[in-house]
Amino acid sequence: MAALWRGLSRPDPTGIDRVVPPTGFTAQLTVFAAAAMAFLAVFALALALATGRLAERWSSELAQTVTVRISAPPDQIEQQVATVMQVLQTTPGIAESRQIPDADVEKLLEPWFGPDVPVEVLPIPRLIEVTETGDGIDADALRLRLQGEAPGAILDDHTRWREPLVRAASRLRLLGLFSLVLIAAASAAMITLAAKAALAANGQVIRVLRLIGSRDITIATAFVRRFTQRAALGALLGSVLGMVAIWALPTVDEAGGFLTGLGFQGWGWLWPLLIPLVAAAIGFWATRSAALRMLREVR
């Protein structure tokens, strides 16, 4: 192991690196596979980071607001709204409470009922949006108080909405991380196949090198050096292309919120720069394992 690391860091005065073809099928395959996998890894990493931010944002935003829904006969609705507003104004932990205007309710219903929803003729409950302070509210106590003073009022703390959304975002993040693991495994498999093909193609040369006194560790170092360099170069190209593609994506506003902020932010742009280093490490271990195994078979 130490000899392999020394071989990677030192120059090649004997010229044994020429055993590994500098160009050809295996070289092109290694560079292309590393570039393609790095490109996909950038998007998988962006997905994992974006969904992590999304889960935190959804959790914090929904946790800071609750909604009071008031359903009552037409002749009692205004009185109950006034009662609920008075209760909320005297409840600790509430920063602001406001009744959602009919125009906003109409926009909320538009995806289901279409434009020009007749809000005034539909039995739509009144909605009051409540913003909590940093200390929060005692939801159970507020719910009991509303039931006693305004029987038609129901407190919704968004738990049934928040938990599935956060759970879905967390699973997407795990999917992104699992994709990175699969990409690393596929890269190792491709580099291993390319290294074995190069070793098999140079079987006669390896036998001659042994006859003149070259050790297996020296021969293996030549292959490890070349394939590690190719993996790192291909991953660097793929990472740069992936970062450019991520940078060229439209913003959330331009995409209508569809992309949900997919991409990197701030120091997050440094994460893709680790991909070439990881690819070089994968190339090192994959080639080392393949070279030592194949050299034992070549006699």
CA distance 79 to 85: 10
Cα angle at 71 between 68 and 72, to 5 degrees? Answer: 135
Q: What order of strands is seen across the sheet that includes strand 65-70?
A: 94-99, 126-132, 65-70, 153-156
pLDDT value of residue 58: 65
278 SS3 class: helix
pLDDT value of residue 146: 83
Give the model confidence (pLDDT) of 158-200 as tens digits: 666 667 777 777 788 888 889 999 999 999 998 888 888 877 7
Give the model confidence (pLDDT) of 21-32 as tens digits: 565 677 788 889
pLDDT value of residue 4: 45
Residue ranges in the chain modelled with pLDDT below 50? 3-4, 7, 254-259
